[in-house]
């Protein structure tokens, strides 16, 4: 049944109209069409394009255990209270949105399940055609065109692809928690530099002020290397499970939005995001073509020569590229 | 000084000879040459090719906190005791190898620092040309050609790229620890299916037997879907910090090696690994070319049209690909 439904030709114009009208099933269907690289993918992309550019995209990342899902839930609630429609893309394997976490968290998220102003989608993180960098912008584009005011993209701040995806948001929140030992440590490995706003969650725990102080110190060191006007990354304390400080996070995001708009940074980021999206699609097209070669220039035949040591991977790659561009 | 050193033309044949002679500095220099995509990259790749294919590549992954670095260290010790030369590639941002973890762990690793039969290299996980999928196989190829018998590739089991890299090993160990709450949970999101051997570390803790039982149950379910002969994934208990069970892990790896050799699976995996490597190099070449277009087919110009909604990313990608292949 399910595959029969998916295989059916969709009336794309009708789906887009219904998605823009707030129908969650139409939104979900459109995301499936782009995620599964259906034959109608291009028709969907063309239909969405004129409606995009409205949504404010907020990335949210942090190590496992810092309270990403609780924070996302609290932000959803805050934006809903302000009358905004909110979409959530969860690409964190440990997130309750994507089905990975404990029952308690999952129950907590269900408070949004009956709210038609909220749409939550978990993204497959593995085994996906082209991976995260391909699928996430596509789904984001659907939510944008469907008229969501806010789109939250939640990822765990550990993997390379995951951090890259979240760094392409209009504003990126990096969450930490005190007393995790590896909080700032892990963050140092790459997620600190993508932060527009730091959130120290679980701020009622011992060590919260130390974490805040360390972050502020680090930020002040980073600023010395900057030339020209730069955004001063704020550090906000929250206890997301009780809603404390969530208003401050919303205010910090709004201030960042204002700053990026005034300095041309918002436009710049969106161009970077679209570039990444175009590049990922182009590379997927090229990968498909390279995978279709047969005979001695087939990828597998070349790989076999590399395994035997009779050629090296650069010479083999030249063969592939040469075949592609002639 | 450092950049001057790097910029100097290297005598590649001499470096390869010295690396094969066991000189750590020559190995390090070769890895830098391939990692930095130096002009001599192709010369290095060609010089390495005839010497590759000897090393046994072991991937090791797991969530933060399961004891990956302690286990890696224990495995290094075990293989050294058996007279094997061991290379370690650490691409885990929370690993002491790559400088991310606490002082205690880092000290523990230093027991290998003076052993010339051990070479440890941390891989940059971000901001790298082409990323992990590009850099790791290159470094691995250097260690292989330098004559290391065993190469351990350690990554955190969370990110998409990280799991992909480790899944390309000859044998992949997935580590779990009992009582972590999200142990099997997080693993479910993608790392379980890449396991050739499960290691339940910290097995002196409460819940170890439950974790073992759950894993075995899961494995038995998975087997029903298989056709033909399949490897029965063993579950090994360890307390890596005391060296307990490490011999069992080594035995399980050896058994897997024997099985994959007998069933043609080792050859198949190496072809898959070489394919991924060739493809990554080819895609990087194509990406560089696409990035060099100017005028209206420049990536940024196309991206600007996508941001404005005047075109969609698929049409823009077609423009790029068309430009590339004419």
Is the CATH code 3.40.50.300 the one for domain B52-263? Answer: yes
pLDDT (mean) for B188-213: 85
Mean pLDDT score of chain A? 83
Query: What is the number of helices (H) and of strands (E) in chain A?
Result: 14, 7
User: Which of A44, A62, A261 shows the shortest CA–CA distance to A144?
Assistant: A44
Please tell me the distance from the alpha carbon of residue B176 to that of residue B198, in angstroms, as a whole number: 8
> Does A278 contact B126 at a Cβ distance shorter than 8 Å?
no
- Which phi and psi angles does B55 have, rounded to 5°? -65, 145
> Does A307 contact B100 at a Cβ distance shorter than 8 Å?
no
What pLDDT was estimated at residue A138?
86
Residue spans per domain, chain B:
1-51, 52-263, 280-324
Q: Which of A94, A185, A275 sits opposite B100 (nearest CB)?
A: A185
CA distance to A316, B51, B164, B181, per residue, from B275 (Å) = 9, 18, 13, 37
Please tell me the distance from the alpha carbon of residue A309 to that of residue A296, in angstroms, as a whole number: 16
Q: Chain B partners of A270 at a C-beta cutoff of 8 Å?
A: 307
Q: Which residue has the tokens 């201030």?
A: A255
Please tell me the distance from the alpha carbon of residue A186 to that of residue A161, in angstroms, as a whole number: 16
Mean pLDDT score of chain B? 83
Share of chain B above pLDDT 70, in %: 79
Residue of A nearest to B285 (CA): A321
Q: Which residue has the tokens 């502020």?
A: A216
Please tell me the distance from the alpha carbon of residue B235 to that of residue B169, in angstroms, as a whole number: 18
> Does B282 contact A275 at a Cβ distance shorter than 8 Å?
no
End-to-end CA distance of chain B: 44
Sheet of strand B86-90, all strands in order from the earlier edge strand to the far edge: B118-122, B86-90, B150-156, B56-62, B171-176, B197-200, B235-237
- Tens-place pLDDT, residues B28-52: 999 988 887 778 889 999 999 999 9
Please tell me the distance from the alpha carbon of residue B311 to that of residue B326, in angstroms, as a whole number: 22
> Does B303 contact A182 at a Cβ distance shorter than 8 Å?
no
Residue of B nearest to A37 (CA): B314
Region of poorest pLDDT, from A1-10, A215-224, B188-197, B230-239: A1-10
What pLDDT was estimated at residue A288?
87
What pLDDT was estimated at residue B315?
95
- Tens-place pLDDT, residues B46-98: 999 999 999 999 999 887 778 888 999 999 999 999 999 999 998 755 555 55
What pLDDT was estimated at residue B148?
96
Positive/negative CA dihedral, A35, A39, A42, A47: negative
What pLDDT was estimated at residue A217?
84
Burial class (CB in 10 A: 0-12, 13-18, 19+), B210: middle
Residue B185, both tokens: 């949970």
> Does A160 contact B158 at a Cβ distance shorter than 8 Å?
no
Q: Which residue has the tokens 């899944």?
A: B167
Sheet of strand A86-90, all strands in order from the earlier edge strand to the far edge: A118-122, A86-90, A150-156, A56-62, A171-176, A197-200, A235-237
Q: Which residue has the tokens 């990313």?
A: B313
Q: Would you say residue B99 has pLDDT above 80?
A: no
Closest CA–CA distance from residue B300 to any residue of chain A (Å): 6
User: Which of B230, B220, B214, B152 shows the shortest CA–CA distance to B179?
Assistant: B214
What pLDDT was estimated at residue A1?
36
End-to-end CA distance of chain A: 44
> Does B274 contact A315 at a Cβ distance shorter than 8 Å?
no
What pLDDT was estimated at residue B138?
86
Q: Chain B partners of A275 at a C-beta cutoff of 8 Å?
A: 299-300, 302-303
CA distance to A72, A288, B206, B268, per residue, from A136 (Å) = 17, 19, 39, 31
Interface test with B, best of A161, A282, A291 (most B CBs within 10 A): A282
Q: Would you say residue B104 has pLDDT above 70?
A: no
pLDDT-derived band at B111, boundaries 50, 70, 90: low
pLDDT (mean) for B311-315: 94
Q: Chain A partners of B312 at a C-beta cutoff of 8 Å?
A: 42, 45-46, 48-49
Closest CA–CA distance from residue B135 to any residue of chain A (Å): 13
What pLDDT was estimated at residue B309?
92
Q: Which of A186, A277, A309 sits opposite B100 (nearest CB)?
A: A186
User: How many residues are recorded in chain B?
Assistant: 326
Q: Which residue has the tokens 């890449």?
A: B194
Q: Which of A132, A189, A325 sits opposite B325 (nearest CB)?
A: A325
Please tell me the distance from the alpha carbon of residue B31 to that of residue B37, in angstroms, as a whole number: 10
Provide CB contacts within 8 A for A11, sequence distance 6+: none
Pairing of strands A171-176, A150-156: unpaired
Mean pLDDT by groups of 10 residues along chain A of 326 residues? 53 94 92 84 93 95 84 94 93 52 45 78 59 77 96 78 79 86 50 86 92 86 66 95 96 97 94 90 88 84 94 94 84
Q: What is the DSSP letter of B241?
A: G
Q: Would you say residue B105 has pLDDT above 80?
A: no
What pLDDT was estimated at residue B124?
62
Residue of B193 and B34 predicted with greater confidence: B34
What pLDDT was estimated at residue A302?
95
Cβ(B30)–Cβ(B15) below 8 Å: yes
């Amino acid at each position: 049944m399910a595959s029969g439904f998916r295989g059916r030709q969709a009336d794309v114009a009708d789906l887009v109209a219904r998605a823009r009208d707030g129908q969650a099933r139409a939104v979900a269907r459109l995301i499936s069409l782009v995620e599964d690289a259906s034959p109608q993918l291009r028709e969907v992309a063309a239909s969405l394009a004129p409606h995009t550019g409205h949504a404010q995209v907020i990335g949210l990342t942090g190590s496992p255990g810092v309270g990403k899902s609780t924070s996302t839930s609290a932000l959803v609630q805050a934006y809903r209270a302000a009358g905004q429609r909110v979409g959530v893309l969860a690409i964190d394997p440990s997130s309750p949105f994507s089905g990975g976490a404990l029952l308690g968290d999952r129950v907590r998220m269900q408070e949004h399940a009956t709210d038609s102003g909220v749409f939550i989608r978990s993204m497959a993180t593995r085994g996906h055609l082209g991976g995260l960098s391909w699928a996430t912008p596509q789904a984001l584009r659907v939510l944008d065109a469907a008229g969501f005011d806010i789109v939250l993209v939640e990822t765990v701040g550990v993997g390379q692809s995951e951090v890259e995806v979240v760094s392409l948001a209009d504003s990126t929140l990096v969450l930490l928690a005190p007393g995790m030992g590896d909080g700032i440590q892990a963050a140092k490995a790459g997620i600190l530099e993508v932060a527009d706003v730091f959130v120290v969650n679980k701020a009622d725990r011992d060590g919260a002020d130390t974490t805040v102080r360390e972050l502020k110190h680090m930020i002040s060191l980073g600023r010395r290397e900057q030339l020209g006007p730069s955004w001063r990354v704020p550090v906000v304390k929250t206890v997301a499970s009780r809603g404390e400080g969530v208003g401050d996070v919303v205010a910090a995001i709004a201030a960042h939005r204002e700053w990026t708009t005034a300095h041309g940074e918002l436009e710049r980021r969106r161009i970077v995001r679209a570039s990444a999206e175009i590049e990922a699609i182009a590379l997927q097209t090229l990968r498909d073509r390279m995978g279709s070669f047969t005979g001695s220039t087939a990828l597998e035949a070349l790989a076999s020569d590399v395994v035997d040591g009779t050629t090296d991977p650069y010479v083999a790659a030249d063969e592939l590229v040469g075949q592609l561009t002639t």
